[in-house]
Structure 1
Amino acid sequence: MLSRAKYFGIRLLVLSLALVVGVLLGEGLLRAFATRSVADHRLCCEFDPVLGWQKIPSAETWHVTDEYQVLERFNSHGLRGPECDYEKPAGVRRLLVLGDSFVEGYSVEFEQTLTQVLQERLNRDVSKSANPATERFEVINAGTGGYSTDQEYLFFVGEGHKYHPDVTILAFYDNDPWYNAQANYWRGAKPLFALDEDGPLRLTNVPLAPPANAGPRSSDVKPWLDRHSRVYGLLRTTVKRSPMLRRGAAAAGLISADEAHSLWRELEVYALNPGPEMVMAWRTTSVLIQALRTKAKAAGSQLVVFYVPPAHAFDAQRWRELLSGAGLSPSDYDRSHALAGLQEICQASGIDLIDPTDELHAANARRLSEDAPLYFPVDGHWTASGHRVAAEVLEQYFRRSLEIDQAE
């Protein structure tokens, strides 16, 4: 007769073997029948002591999810797109677009990005024009995934102005204000500005300390699993997208408390009665945008702001699930509140704000009936159709404001 200790030992062994077999079976099925998971969404970024991270010059990387497979290439300056000299050619008007992953556009081919579609549409009449002096347009994609307004400002000061843009377009996303007040993002440390009472912006933590990489660490297991395990990638992505699961993972010590609470803290941008940290974040954002306008003007460039609506702006169910998953009451939040804050900043500063919400809403309603939405349902970024609609809105603005000649 087995002793109790041996009995439980055998049960533990059987359960462990069953778990291992289950994981191996799941790994095999995912590799056989599913595309590479979000864990294969490679960043292709390097540390930068001012910006936190930047795209690696002359590099290329695959972005592969269940919704898209895109090979992204960067030029020698680390920008997505072809080589582009700092010196602006004669007869060219340059538009420099600052922004995050929506502008970088790693979910679509380069030819389908907002910047490239805008360039093609602005230049479509050049070859047909009878006027040899008709100007050509260059639209430079300076978007980098994860950037907020502070990093976009610093990029312009350090690099963007060198391209001598006639117009600088700042793409604004709803989580920008929150991260303008944070020293860390999931990609790594980032610059943090302090706003003194009635004083100018002041960088508090630059140069940033490089990430530690000396010697093996237990935390190195996660990147290894990211690269080699489909099951781990699926679990990580599922936990990342569920505030409830993230809280459970934090309680179990699997992720940090900051990671667990980052989503609902970002959502405070929609709060009808925001806390003091969010109020200060908005104030910092306002000063950053005004500072960028000043720097752009000094470089001979006009600043305009382009609003990038999130997917939940058009999806009531997604918005409700976002709030309920974070344990927040719908009566305390308004999904249009971030746009209202941006409108107030631009109006007070005399900066043109281009808002494509109505056009995207109308186009998305049509596309949904055709099962071709403007946003990827899971990833949340624009599809090629979303980029095209956004580019069309920008095109109409520039045709009006720059009085672009139309071909006969």
Structure 2
Amino acid sequence: YGFHQFIQPSRVLHNELIPNAVSRYISEQGEFDVDIRINSMGLRDQEYTLDKPEGVYRILVLGDSPVVGIEVPGEETFPNQMEQLLNQDNPGRFEVLNGGMQGYSPILYYLFLKEKGLDFNPDLVLINFSVTDVTDDYDHAKRARFDEEGMPVSVTKDVQLEDQVSYVPFKQFLRNNSVLYHFIRDRYHRFQYEMKTEEAKIIGDEQTTNAPENSEESEIDLALATHLAHLAGKDLREDFFAIFNETFLPEEESAWQQTLVWLRGIHQLCLQNGIAISLIPVPQPNQVSTEEWKEGKQLWGFDADHMITSPHFQGRLKAFCEQERIPFINPLPRFREVSLQKQLFYPYDGHFNKEGHRVMAEHILDALTTRHIFPQN
């Protein structure tokens, strides 16, 4: 009952949702148990016609895990809640398509829009930018092929598709079926956040070197060593939490700039096709409140009361949007306000719960309306 049961490899998009797939996604901690249905177009959404109906305003929402929202039922994801709210007074007037996919980042948002999204003929594209996006872009670009202008044409490079995905199902099998794997992983994570950075680095190097190959133990060792490297490195290319840093090494800055290239590419595709666009930084739970993600953040090496106060992540994206003349929508202040009364993220998993999706939907719609991004009629 894992996410891998409804994804398939893609020679252009690295992986994608399987059209018409049906499965369940179950939290090991009992936080959610969700039926997952993928429509015939490979979206986690209800059925739509490829051709946009006459008189309909169509919105395409791009992003990764916060958008696809597999932790809540399909009707509770914020794209679906947006559609419900829009059509309360305008039945059938709006369609909001969920183009989210776990693990995607701007290089794949660009490819998805170019290869699939434009076929939906959207009137508006919403880019939801996650804190993982620069780090994931850096990783995806290693397997990408580019055209003569330096824009991506695929994210598989020359790696054989079978080789590229053979490792993933085995790791997912362990995650979904091995109690020992999760016992060791969770106990290990709870202990490791107390370790000093240098100790973590040394142990991580040793585990990486000594890990046995082709065994369940090697999978566990690799997972643990990867987390050790996260604690020790604090480099944006490896640790997505480094995106909140105020300054970056030249190599990290280069990774940031490359991600901005993909965002400009999305903007250009929209301009060329007469599509409106907006960019939305997705709030991280430990940006919102010390009470959010209380359990899960300790597994990432943070104190239970840790909160990120740096404005750098949202600030940098806002400056980029001002330069590129892209409407910028920042839900973080709204999340901080509502979080005083309601929990918006799962305590262990860390993704939006139903209320988090609701706040996201309402804030985006308020901003789109206030800024007159929707047509006046």
TM-score, length-scaled by structure 1: 0.74
**Structure 1 residues 201, 62: CA separation in 2 closer, same or farther (over 3 Å shift)?**
same
Of 13, 31, 41, the residue aligned with 2:2 is: 41
SS state of the match for residue 305, structure 1? strand
Aligned to 1:233: 182
**Structure 1 residues 91, 309: CA separation in 2 closer, same or farther (over 3 Å shift)?**
same
Q: Distance in 2 between matches of 1:69 and 1:358?
A: 30
The structure with more radius of gyration: 1
Residue 325, structure 1, aligned to residue 293, structure 2: no
Aligned to 2:161: 210
Q: Distance in 2 between matches of 1:80 and 1:366?
A: 30
Pairing of 1:111-126 with structure 2 (within 5 A): 111-126=75-90
Pairing of 1:85-104 with structure 2 (within 5 A): 85-104=49-68
Aligned to 2:151: 201
Of 229, 235, 257, the residue aligned with 1:261 is: 229
SS state of the match for residue 35, structure 2? strand
Q: Distance in 2 between matches of 1:86 and 1:50?
A: 20
Aligned to 1:387: 357
Deviations 1:14-34 (A, max 9, x none): xxxxxxxxxxxxxxxxxxxxx
Kept in 1: contact 2:293–2:349 (CA 8 A): no
Q: Residue 177 of structure 1 aligns to which amino acid in structure 2?
A: V
SS state of the match for residue 72, structure 2? coil
Q: Residue 3 of structure 2 aligns to which amino acid in structure 1?
A: R
Of 304, 314, 317, the residue aligned with 1:339 is: 314
Aligned to 1:56: 18
Q: Distance in 1 between matches of 2:205 and 2:356?
A: 35
Q: Distance in 1 between matches of 2:265 and 2:325?
A: 13
Q: Residue 9 of structure 2 aligns to which amino acid in structure 1?
A: F
Pairing of 1:137-176 with structure 2 (within 5 A): 137-176=94-133
Compute the displacement of 1:302 (Å): 1.1
Identity of aligned residues (%): 26
Q: Distance in 2 between matches of 1:347 and 1:293?
A: 13
Q: Residue 229 of structure 2 aligns to which amino acid in structure 1?
A: H
Aligned to 1:314: 288
Q: Distance in 2 between matches of 1:85 and 1:362?
A: 38
Compute the displacement of 1:396 (Å): 1.3
Kept in 2: contact 1:98–1:171 (CA 8 A): yes
**Structure 1 residues 115, 278: CA separation in 2 closer, same or farther (over 3 Å shift)?**
same
Q: Distance in 1 between matches of 2:139 and 2:288?
A: 28
**Structure 1 residues 361, 56: CA separation in 2 closer, same or farther (over 3 Å shift)?**
same
SS state of the match for residue 50, structure 2? coil
Q: Distance in 1 between matches of 2:52 and 2:32?
A: 34
**Structure 1 residues 232, 308: CA separation in 2 closer, same or farther (over 3 Å shift)?**
same
Q: Residue 301 of structure 2 aligns to which amino acid in structure 1?
A: G
**Structure 1 residues 241, 352: CA separation in 2 closer, same or farther (over 3 Å shift)?**
farther
Kept in 2: contact 1:164–1:300 (CA 8 A): no
Q: Distance in 2 between matches of 1:303 and 1:360?
A: 22
Kept in 2: contact 1:181–1:193 (CA 8 A): no
Q: Distance in 2 between matches of 1:149 and 1:359?
A: 25
Residue 72, structure 1, aligned to residue 36, structure 2: yes
Q: Residue 75 of structure 2 aligns to which amino acid in structure 1?
A: E
Number of aligned residue pairs: 341
Q: Distance in 1 between matches of 2:189 and 2:14?
A: 22
Compute the displacement of 1:214 (Å): 11
